[in-house]
Structure 1
Amino acid sequence: MDCMTRLNPLARLASVFTTPHAPEDFLRLVNPLSSARQLRGIVTRVDRETPDSATIHFRPGRGWHAHEAGQWARIGVDIDGVRQWRSYSLTTAGGEDPAITVTAIGAISEALVHRTEPGDVLFLSPPQGDFVLPEHPRPLLMLTAGSGLTPVMSMVRTLVRRRSDADVELVHSARTRETALFRDELEELAGLDHGLTVHHWITGERGRRFDLTSTDDLDATVPDWRERATYVCGPTEMIDDAEALWRAAEVESRLVIERFAPITLPGSGGDGGRVVFEKSDKEVDADGATTLLDAGEDAGVIMPSGCRMGICQSCLVPLQAGRVRDLRTGEVHGDEGQLIQTCVSTAAGDVYLDV
């Protein structure tokens, strides 16, 4: 008889005294990581990166698995009594204790950067994502801008400290040297001859961003870019330009991208309408450009979410009635009971959701 079997009678006995609560609900008061219902993490350290960004280290509870370099996780925080979720890239080396680096843009990121302290509890989902290092060693090019550096930083930390055959060219765009994330660490790593070359492209000094509408900047900065596996993470315009350029150069198969926003069609918003959240007993008027996910969160509804890009399927909610428009395709659809991706759907008339 294994240990779990021996403990079951004790758990059943304990439940007699804790009903209607589960025994772990009381254990959580002593150890906040003990919950079997919701994965949590304890903040262990907060490092200030810039005046408006911070790296938050945390110790996850059971249910977490070691992340691969480049992956992300959903992070939940309670704001004004409502649990809000956002997805953040994990910035420590693959397999190491996790951390996220957050820039204070939006209510959740503002709270994380300016109000998080050691000992605080974060709500978590396990690491996920396919923006990861190639299986076999090869020369790499990393093109990033702003917070797009965060998943790539995990890759850099994984490679240059563990692989003697690392060959990484990193081109990072930032507005100023002071706001360039990880600038000192990157320059230090590059100076140690660990196979890393860093090109900081400061738009405030150059007057423009690194240009991917032609090959001029690439040819001047990384002449062998066509032979490298390339990872791109940053603003949508930057990613779109990279896709077009690599396609024109017939090396699109060597391009790996990470988007922080869904691909949507121009002018593909729905007509808008009243969105009713049945279980939450709330409703709100939403225009044709506001996703059902954003509409729910703005109304104080605890909405399931994940990548917020239409990829991970974590935001699925049953449709009770009404029609919605998919921002990626412009298609209007809606059958009773159909699961709707709320992060990429808008109201095409009145909508009733089972949440």
Structure 2
Amino acid sequence: MPSMRPLDRLAKAVSPVLSPLAKPLTTPLTPQDFLSLINPLSSARQLRGVVTSVVPETTDTATIHFRPGHGWDPHMAGQWARVGVEIDGVRHWRSYSLTTAAGEDPAITVHAEGLVSDSLVQRTRPGDVLHLDVPQGDFVLPEHPRPLLMLTAGSGLTPVMSMIRTLVGRRDDADVVLVHSSRSAEDALFAEELAELSTAHPGLRVVHWYSGERGRIDLTSTDTLDELCPDWPSRAAYACGPPEMLDAAERLWHDADARHSLVIERFAPVVLDGQGGEGGVVTFLRSDREIEVDGSTTLLEAAESAGVMMPSGCRMGICHTCLTPLRAGKVRDLRTGEVHGDEGQSIQTCVSAAAGPCHLEI
């Protein structure tokens, strides 16, 4: 991790000394609240980062580099972090893969799709402040060196790019085959950098698959992988992309008795088919709103369509940021099909749907 900048060092040095002396003068605010006016990264309440650059990748995708404040943990290659953005006075949280090499100042590569991602791509400028949470996730490189196969599609390349940047050029024993699917050459993320890396380092081989020309990668049999990477069964495999591709990869590796060699990163929860149930009228008590939804619509989606601002983060049942008290009714966990609910129970709205009428305390 790079050394602290002058303002960061100043904030860290003076805070323990001045805070006890200044507290009586700043109550009900804290000395850190005033210090944050000088240095926006100085906050005892919320981890923050300042945007250092915004780099366009494609027509609707950009990489946002930021310098995190004190409290940030250096990320491992492949991890993700929650990022909070202020939009019209409301803070929205989303989770994004970190695309820089392990230990470097972080960056996220964002596709302009949805309220938060569109705002990040279209409106973010150097000097803007992002709210942050520490890096998380188990989609990381193996502990010991071994040949790797990276199978990605679309934005599924983002966590794998961190792995490639960490390995290639740093380890002479790197042996990586990347098979990346995109609609066309114009849509392919990091294409120029990957070409340069593969030219400079024989341990990296990049295979581009353009679905606009060839259709989706066929994983119903081993034929395509046998052609693209003949020794794939002997490699540790990392896959990230659309749910359909990941589901097919899981079946293929299972049938090949190699499932222990496959690690998957999903950007959406695994929802069981046919587990939606009956749905119902959802009432948001404090917001004085209600909406009728089917049994496959998550409570988070229902709230947003009704204009209710809900807490959210990963939107796939991992971070628990969306926990909201249930005041009446039952909900169904779309991952397991389980129906549950007691008054006052906190539920994950991003993976739960109404199982009949229900009331939420928000």
Q: Using structure 1 for the length normalisation, give the TM-score.
A: 0.93
Match of 1:284 in 2: 290
Name whichever of 301-310 and 343-352 sits farther off: 301-310
Match of 1:335 in 2: 342
Match of 2:254 in 1: 247
Match of 2:313 in 1: 306
C-alpha distance in 1 between matches for 2:26 and 2:303: 34
Determine if the alignment matches structure 1 residue 258 to structure 2 residue 265.
yes
Among residues 265, 279, 282, which one is paired with 1:275 in the alignment?
Answer: 282
Q: Secondary structure at the match of 2:149?
A: strand
C-alpha distance in 2 between matches for 1:7 and 1:110: 37
2:104 partner letter: E
Structure 2 gap ranges (5+): 1-11
C-alpha distance in 2 between matches for 1:96 and 1:10: 31
Instruction: State the 1:18 CA deviation.
Output: 2.3
Instruction: State the 1:10 CA deviation.
Output: 4.3
Name whichever of 97-106 and 283-292 sits farther off: 283-292
Determine if the alignment matches structure 1 residue 138 to structure 2 residue 146.
yes
Match of 2:115 in 1: 107
Q: Using structure 2 for the length normalisation, give the TM-score.
A: 0.91
Deviation sequence 1:148-184 (CA, Å, 0-9, x none): 0000000000000211000000000000101100001
Deviation sequence 1:271-328 (CA, Å, 0-9, x none): 33343445x5343315123212233344555533332222333332332322111101
C-alpha distance in 2 between matches for 1:282 and 1:33: 37
Name whichever of 292-301 and 242-251 sits farther off: 292-301
Among residues 197, 201, 205, which one is paired with 1:197 in the alignment?
Answer: 205
C-alpha change, 1:132 and 1:281, in structure 2 (3 Å) is same
C-alpha change, 1:72 and 1:286, in structure 2 (3 Å) is farther
Structure 1 gap ranges (5+): none
Instruction: State the 1:331 CA deviation.
Output: 1.6
C-alpha distance in 2 between matches for 1:232 and 1:253: 13
C-alpha distance in 2 between matches for 1:260 and 1:332: 24
Determine if the alignment matches structure 1 residue 62 to structure 2 residue 84.
no
**How many residues get paired?**
351
Instruction: State the 1:232 CA deviation.
Output: 0.4
C-alpha change, 1:9 and 1:115, in structure 2 (3 Å) is closer
C-alpha change, 1:326 and 1:22, in structure 2 (3 Å) is same
CA contact (8 A) 2:96 2:108 kept: yes
- The sequence identity of aligned pairs, in percent, is 67
CA contact (8 A) 2:181 2:217 kept: yes
CA contact (8 A) 1:84 1:297 kept: no
How big is the alpha-carbon RMSD for the aligned residues of Structure 1 and Structure 2?
A: 2.1
Q: Secondary structure at the match of 1:119?
A: coil
C-alpha distance in 2 between matches for 1:274 and 1:15: 49
Q: Secondary structure at the match of 2:350?
A: helix
Name whichever of 7-16 and 290-299 sits farther off: 7-16
CA contact (8 A) 2:15 2:32 kept: no
Among residues 14, 17, 27, which one is paired with 2:22 in the alignment?
Answer: 14
C-alpha distance in 2 between matches for 1:138 and 1:314: 36
C-alpha change, 1:178 and 1:331, in structure 2 (3 Å) is same
Instruction: State the 1:143 CA deviation.
Output: 0.3
C-alpha distance in 2 between matches for 1:209 and 1:7: 55
Match of 2:56 in 1: 48
Determine if the alignment matches structure 1 residue 121 to structure 2 residue 121.
no
C-alpha change, 1:270 and 1:16, in structure 2 (3 Å) is farther
Determine if the alignment matches structure 1 residue 73 to structure 2 residue 76.
no
